[in-house]
């Protein structure tokens, strides 16, 4: 009888992991062997609020990935595995892992899942080299603002010429009316 709660706990854990795989735009897999609890806490802080970093049993995580329809991760589920489920910007999470791994070489990025497809550790590093969504949006907004300013100046030019011409005509008319009287 003691086995049933354990099995239901495992089934619950698999169901939760499956939901996490399905609902995260990216999931990054790491090996954390040798890191202290304090270092793992530091890593969680470095990843930010929009990434949940948790240790998972390989058999349960493998089953959850399969249940979520993700193939190509089986070889990554060896050794102590922790999963970073990203709900925000995958670039920021990948940068956080990469930067943490530079100062803590015991953290190994194994690979992950991006938009439902398995990716390698090298692909995670390439994602980390991208600019964040906010930076890209700011650059786009700046480019658009610059083009809008040019367009506004272009449209404004004929109006200001017309206004100057009208003012000059009005001045000339005033002079001619004043000169006659």
Cβ-based neighbour number of residue 57 at 10 Å: 15
Per-residue pLDDT, 17: 92
Statement to judge: residues 88 and 105 lie in one domain: yes
Confidence of residue 1 (pLDDT cuts 50, 70, 90): very low
Strands (DSSP E) along 32-179, which ranges?
51-56, 81-86, 108-114, 117-120
Statement to judge: residues 118 and 139 lie in one domain: no
Examine the pLDDT at 133 and tell me if it is beyond 50: yes
Statement to judge: residues 45 and 114 lie in one domain: yes
In this structure, what CATH number is given to the domain that contains residue 52?
A: 3.30.70.1730
Distance between CA atoms of residues 8 and 181, nearest Å: 106
Which DSSP letter does residue 174 get? H
Statement to judge: residues 141 and 102 lie in one domain: no
Per-residue pLDDT, 38: 93
Which of 87, 115, 130 is the C-terminal boundary of a domain?
130
Statement to judge: residues 89 and 143 lie in one domain: no
Statement to judge: residues 54 and 123 lie in one domain: yes
Chain centroid to CA 65: how far?
21
Distance between CA atoms of residues 163 and 39, nearest Å: 68
Examine the pLDDT at 23 and tell me if it is beyond 80: yes
For the chain, the domain total comes to 2
Whole-angstrom CA distances from 178 to 22, 60, 132, 164, 169 are 83, 96, 67, 21, 14
Statement to judge: residues 14 and 102 lie in one domain: yes
Examine the pLDDT at 132 and tell me if it is beyond 70: no
Confidence of residue 62 (pLDDT cuts 50, 70, 90): very high
Q: Which residues contact 111 (CB under 8 A, 6 or more apart)?
A: 28, 29, 73, 76, 118, 119, 120, 121, 123, 124
Q: Which residues contact 135 (CB under 8 A, 6 or more apart)?
A: none
Statement to judge: residues 22 and 93 lie in one domain: yes
Chain centroid to CA 103: how far?
22
Statement to judge: residues 149 and 120 lie in one domain: no
Statement to judge: residues 42 and 114 lie in one domain: yes
Note down the domain range covering 109.
Answer: 3-130
Examine the pLDDT at 5 and tell me if it is beyond 60: no
Statement to judge: residues 20 and 62 lie in one domain: yes
Q: What is the spatial order of strands in the sheet that 81-86 belongs to?
A: 51-56, 81-86, 26-31, 108-114, 117-120
Per-residue pLDDT, 110: 93
């Amino acid at each position: 009888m003691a086995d049933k709660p354990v099995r239901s706990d495992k089934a619950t854990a698999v169901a939760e992991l499956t939901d996490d795989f399905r609902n995260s735009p990216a999931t990054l897999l790491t090996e954390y062997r040798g890191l202290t609890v304090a270092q793992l806490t530091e890593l969680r802080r470095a990843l930010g609020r929009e990434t949940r970093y948790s240790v998972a049993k390989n058999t349960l995580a493998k089953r959850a990935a399969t249940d979520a329809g993700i193939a190509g991760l089986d070889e990554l589920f060896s050794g102590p595995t922790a999963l970073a489920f990203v709900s925000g910007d995958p670039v920021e999470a990948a940068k956080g892992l990469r930067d943490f791994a530079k100062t803590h070489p015991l953290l190994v990025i194994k690979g992950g899942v991006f938009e439902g497809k398995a990716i390698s550790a090298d692909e995670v590093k390439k994602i980390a080299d991208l600019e964040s969504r906010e930076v890209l949006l700011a650059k786009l907004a700046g480019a658009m603002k610059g083009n809008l300013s040019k367009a506004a100046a272009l449209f404004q030019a004929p109006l200001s010429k017309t206004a100057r011409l009208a003012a000059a005509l009005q001045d000339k008319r005033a002079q001619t009316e004043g000169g006659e009287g």
